[in-house]
Amino acid sequence: MTQHQPSRKALHAIASLEAFKGVLALAALIGLLDLLHEDARALAMAWIGRFGLNPEGHYSSIVLHYAELLPNTDVTLLIQLGMAYALIRFVEAYGLWFDKVWGEYLGALSGAIYVPFELRHLIETPDWISAFVLLFNCLIVAYLVRVLMRKRSSNRNQYQS
């Protein structure tokens, strides 16, 4: 077993997660576009009621807030942002799957961008889901940075030999 096999399995797992996030982004985009022709607030209230959630609760309030914003959304911008996000996830997944250094940089950078927002959310709304998301993201970023540092050290050792 070589040194790179465990890291390749981990990189494949992270790549699969990123590809899954890209698919979810496309599905969410299609769902949002479909909602543009509906009364999104009424539909959100129906789902909140169906699942027995408190309409005044934190997550229900967020859903209702965005349901009210949806009819006034710039559809072109929504499509562009959704497609750009999905494309970044797919490009990152490709780079990680095929063990490309640029994929590891993209993964570390795109994951690290979310850390301050996740930390702020955890501070404002402390719960186990927020803590798990932050911890999971930090572990992925740390792992990718470690992979990059090992590659850099390995390359430096090759040139010195």
pLDDT at residue number 6: 57
Contact 72, 87 (CB under 8 A): no
Nearest-5° angle of CA 47, CA 49, CA 51? 70
Measuring CA to CA, which residue among 63, 11, 17, 8 is closest to residue 41? 63
| Mean pLDDT of the chain, nearest integer | 91
Q: What is the pLDDT of residue 161?
A: 60
Helical ranges in 98-127 per DSSP H: 101-124
Question: Is residue 10 one of the residues assigned to a domain?
Answer: yes
Measured N-to-C along each axis, helices 101-124 and 75-97 cross at an angle, to the nearest 10 degrees, of 120
Question: What's the gap between Cα 49 and its chain centre?
Answer: 28
Q: What is the pLDDT, as a whole number, of residue 1?
A: 43
158 contacts: CB under 8 Å, gap ≥ 6: none
Residue located via tokens 């470690």: 146
Between 123 and 36, name the one with better pLDDT: 123
> Is the residue at 52 inside a domain?
no
State yes or no: pLDDT of 157 exceeds 80: no
Domain range for 25: 4-36+73-160
Distances (CA, A) of 18 to 123, 124, 129: 26, 27, 19
In this structure, is residue 59 part of a structural domain?
A: no
12 in a structural domain? yes
> What's the N-to-C CA distance of the chain in angstroms?
24
Whether residue 81 is contained in a domain is answered as: yes
> Torsion angle, CA of 66/58/110/19, rounded to 10 degrees?
-70
Establish if 48 belongs to a structural domain: no
**CA neighbor of 70 nearest in space, from 32, 25, 43, 26:** 32
Residue 153 in any domain: the answer is yes
- Domain assignment present for 27: yes
Task: Supply the pTM of this predicted model.
Answer: 0.82
User: What is the tens place of the pLDDT at every residue in 105-120?
Assistant: 999 999 999 999 999 9
Give me the residue label for tokens 């990718």: 144
Residue 136 above 90 pLDDT?
Answer: yes
- The pLDDT, as a whole number, for residue 144 is 97
